Chain A
Amino acid sequence: MRGLQAGFAALAVTAGAALAGAAVPTPADAKDIIINMAAPDWLPTRFMQEEFNRTYHAKSGNNVKLVIDFIPWPSFYQRVAASLSSGEKKYQMLVTDSQWLGDFVEGGHYLKLNKYIDKDPELQAVLADMHQVLKDTSSSYPYKSHNYYGFPQFPDNLITFYRTDLFCNKTERANFLAKYKKTLPCYYNEWEQADWDLWADIGEFFHRKKGDKLGDGVADDDFYGIAYQAGKGYDFSSMQINTLVWEAGGNIWDETNTKPASGVVNSPIAVKALERYLDLLKWAPPVAKTGQMDIFVVQDLYMQGKVAAVVDWVGLAGPVIDPKVSKVADKSGFAQAPGWRKPDGSINRFANIGGQPFVLTTWNSDEVVHECLEIVKWWLSKPVQVNFAKSGGQSGLLSVIQDPAYFTYKPWNRAFVDNYQWQKDIWHIPEFFPLLTEQQEQFDKAITGQISAKQALDTVAAYQDKTLKEAGRIN
C-alpha cells in the first residue's frame, strides 16, 4: 500500500512538473515578438531602450524585443500622426503626448485598457500607485474620466535651473539686496518665495555686458538674466504662457464644459498675464526676439553659460550636470519655478504638466497586447523606476516619489515632486493640434512684436470659437 501511495505521489509530481513545464514555452515554442515603439528622442526614452536590452526577460518565455523609433521632438507629432493615418500599422506601442489622447483615441488608433486593467491585479496596483494628476492628464480620455488609455512613461514639469556661483555669491547677493531690497534666492526655501516680479529684477540685475563683473570674475561675453520657452514650434510658448495665465487667475478654454472660448481666453487677466510674459523677454537672450527660443535653445544657452536662470523641463536637466556637454555642470542648482504674487502676499503657483504616457495601438493581437502590458508593468515596477530616477528620469509612482531617498537621486527631484501639487493640463480634445498651431502662430507674432498681447488673444479666442463650434464642442 505504501509502495502504491509512493507510486501515485511520484506520478502526481511528474504530471505536475510536466504541466508546469507546458505552461512556460520551451525554447522551441518561444515566439519572437518584436514591439515597435515610437518615442521622442531624449534621455527618458534612450534610457528605457538601454534598460530593456539589459534587464528585461519576458515572463511568457517568448523572445520579446523592444525596438524604439527615436523621433526628434519638433517633428514628433507630424511623424506619429502621419504613421497612424497612413494605415501602415508600424507601431505596437507609442509614447504619446497627453494632449493627443483625444485626437488618436477618436481616430481609432489607441487601445482602451480598462478591460485589461480589470482582469490584471498587477495593473490595478500600478494604477493605484500612480499620482492622481497623472491619472487625470496622462492616462484618461475624456479628461478626468475613468477611461484609461495610457500609463506614464515619463512624467515631467517645469522647474528653475539657476547658477549657484552667481545666486549664492556674497557680493552679488549684497548688491541685489541693496538695489532691490529683496533677497537674491540661493537656497531652495528662498526660491519657494520667488515670484515673477523677482524674476524681472533677476533679469535686469544679471544683464551684463562683456567685461562687466560677474560673480567672482568677469563676463567673457554678453550675459543675460533669465530665459524661458518662447518658440513657435510645437507647444514651445503655450506651455509657459498657460502657466502665467493660470497663476494670474485666468484660464484657457475648459473642455469639460460647452462655454465659448471668447471671454475666457482673451479675458483681461489673460491679457495681463501674456503682457507680463512678453515684457520679461526683454531680459532674455536676443534669440527670444526671433520667436525661436524653444526648450532646447533655452537649455543650450544655459549650458553654454549665457544665462543666470531659466525655466525649463526636468527632462532636460540631465545634460546640464554633465561636464562633457555643460559648462555649468558643477555650478547649477534646481528649484521651483516662480509664481504670481497675490494681493494678500501669498504666491499662486500653477504649471502646465509635461511628460508622456505610453499607449498601445488598436491593431495588435492578444499575444502582442499581453507582451506590451508586461513591458508597461516592468517599466512601472519599483526597481526599474528607482533605477530610472537615479539616472536622471522621473517617476509618477507614489511609492517611489514618497520615499525620502528619492530626493537624493538627483538635485532636481525635490522641485519635481513639490511641483506635482499644482499641475494642470492643456486640452485633450481631437482638435488639439489645430488649436495649438493657431495659438502658437499668434503668440509668435506677439513675441516678435508684430501684434499686441490683446490682439493675439482676441485672434486666438475667435479661432477657437470657430473651430470648437464646427466640431460641436461649444454651443
Chain B
Amino acid sequence: MTSLTPVQIPPQTIAAAPSPRRSARGFLGWLMAPERRGPMLVAPAIATLIVVNIFPLLWSYGLSFFSYNAKYINRPPRWIGLDNYVDAFTDPEVWDRFTNTAVIVIGSVAVQLVVGFLLALLFAREFPLRRYLLMLVLAPMMLSLSAVGVFFKLFYEPTLGFIPRIVQTFTGVPFVILDTPTKAIIAIICADAWMWSPFVMLLVLAGLVSVPKYLYEAAEIDRASTWRRFRTITFPYIRSLLLLALLFRTIETFKIFDVPYVLTEGGPGTSTETISVYLFRLAFNYFRTGRASALGYIVLFGVIVLTSLYLYAIQTRRSEAG
C-alpha cells in the first residue's frame, strides 16, 4: 500500500535555485491575472477612444471659451469667457440655420415614417420575389451619404438629369428643381427619405411580424373592419417601434450634413444650409475655431436631449415587452 503522507520539502531546497526571470514573469503574471485580464484587453480600445474622442471633446470645450483662429499658429487663443455662447444664441444666422434644419427634419422624418410604414405593410406578407425585392429596397441604406448626394445632384440636373427630363416630356418646358428655396428643401427631403425609409420599414416590419395571427383570425370572425383591426391589433404592436424610429431618425436627421452640402452647398443662398453645414463653414471656411466649438457644444446638447428621449422610449418598450 502506497503511503499518502505529504512529502516535506526542506526550505533551503526551495531557496537554493532562484529563477533569473522571476521579476518579469511576476509583473506579466500580475498584469494578466484573471481579475485584470479583461481591463487589459479593453485598454487599447479605451486609449484610442480617449485620444480620438474624449481628448478632442475636452480640448474643443476649452477652446469654446477663447477667441481663436486655428490658421494662425503664431497667435495664441484669447480668453473671452461665455462670449462665444452668447454670440451663438443671439446670432440670427444661427437661428436661421436651426430653422432650416427643423424644416428638413420634420419633412424628412414624416416622409420616412409614412413610406417606411407602407413598405412594412407591403413586406409583411409573402409574395413572389419578396426576398429579392426586399434586398433592393434596403440597398439605399447601404450607400454612403455623399454618394447619395452626388446621385441626386445628377438626377436633379436640369439639362442632363433624368427627373427633369421626365417632367419636361409632359410639360414641354425645362424643369429646374434646385432654383428656389422651397424646391431645394423638398429635393433634400426626398433624397434623405429615399435613403432612410428602408430603416423605418425594418423596424416596423419587426413589429408587424410579431403580431399573433390568431388575433387577426379572431377579428375576422368578429367581422372587424380593416381600420378597426389596424387600430386595435396592429398599431399597439408597432407603436413603440414607430416611436423608436421617429426618435432615432430625428436625432440622425438633426445632424444632416452630407446630402445638403453635396447637393446644394446650402443654396440657393443659405436656404438649405443646415446647422451642421453652417458649423463646418464656421470652422473650416472662416476658421472661427472658438465660436465653432461653442456652437458645436450647443448642437451636442440638442442631440443629448433627443438621445435621452430615445433611451427613455427604449426603456418603456422593454418594460412593455417584459
Contact = CB atoms under 8 A, between A and B. Distances in A.
Contact of B178 (A107, A292, A437): A292
A445 interface: yes
A232 B73 contact: no
Contacts of A304: 160
A292 B271 CA distance: 14
Interface stretch (A24-32, A79-87, A265-273, A395-403): A79-87
Given A78-B284, A289-B176, A289-B179, A87 B269 contact: no
Contacts of A108: 72-74
A445 B176 contact: no
A85 B159 contact: no
Interface in B65-109: 70-74
- In this complex, the member of B71, B174, B281 whose beta carbon has the largest number of chain A beta carbons within 10 angstroms is B71
A301 B159 contact: yes
A205 to B, nearest CB: 19
B181 interface: yes
A444 interface: yes
Given A81-B284, A286-B159, A450 B71 contact: no
A444 to B, nearest CB: 5
A287 B268 contact: no
Contacts of B264: 290, 292
Interface in A194-239: 222, 232-233
- In this complex, the member of A78, A84, A232, A448 whose beta carbon has the largest number of chain B beta carbons within 10 angstroms is A448
B145 to A, nearest CB: 15
Nearest to B271: A450
Contacts of A292: 178, 264-265, 267
Interface in B306-321: none
Contact of A287 (B158, B180, B267, B270): B158
Contacts of B71: 81, 84-85, 103-104, 107, 430
A358 B159 CA distance: 37
B155 interface: no
A107 B267 contact: no
Contacts of A448: 179-180, 267-269
A447 B178 CA distance: 12
Nearest to B153: A292
Contacts of B287: 81, 85, 433
A430 to B, nearest CB: 8
Interface size, B (range): 20 to 34
A451 B270 CA distance: 12
Contact of B265 (A81, A232, A433): A232
Contact of A444 (B158, B159, B180, B269): B269
A107 B264 CA distance: 31
Nearest to B273: A441
Contact of A290 (B176, B266, B281, B286): B176
A190 interface: no
Contacts of A78: 284-285
Given A85-B73, A301-B159, A448-B179, A291 B284 contact: no
A306 interface: yes
A390 B269 CA distance: 41
B258 interface: no
B179 A290 contact: yes
Interface string A428-461: 0010011001000110110111110000000000
Interface string B158-192: 11100010000000001011111100100000000
Given A108-B72, A287-B158, A448-B179, A222 B269 contact: no
A86 B56 CA distance: 13
A107 B72 contact: yes
Nearest to B269: A445
A433 B285 contact: yes
B296 to A, nearest CB: 16
A315 interface: no
Interface in B191-215: none
Interface string B43-77: 00000000000000000000000000011111000
- In this complex, the member of B177, B178, B285 whose beta carbon has the largest number of chain A beta carbons within 10 angstroms is B285
Given A81-B287, A82-B284, A437-B281, A233 B72 contact: no
Interface in A291-322: 291-292, 301, 304, 306
Contacts of B265: 232-233, 292
Contacts of B267: 232, 290-292, 444, 448
17 contacts: A106-B72, A107-B73, A222-B159, A232-B266, A285-B158, A287-B157, A287-B158, A287-B176, A291-B267, A433-B285, A433-B287, A437-B281, A442-B269, A444-B267, A445-B268, A448-B267, A448-B268
What 7 A-B pairs are tightest by C-beta distance, nearest first?
A448-B268, A445-B269, A286-B158, A289-B179, A290-B178, A85-B70, A286-B174
Given A286-B174, A449-B179, A449-B180, 16 more contacts: A84-B71, A106-B72, A107-B73, A107-B74, A285-B158, A286-B159, A286-B176, A287-B157, A287-B158, A290-B176, A434-B285, A442-B269, A445-B268, A445-B270, A448-B179, A450-B271
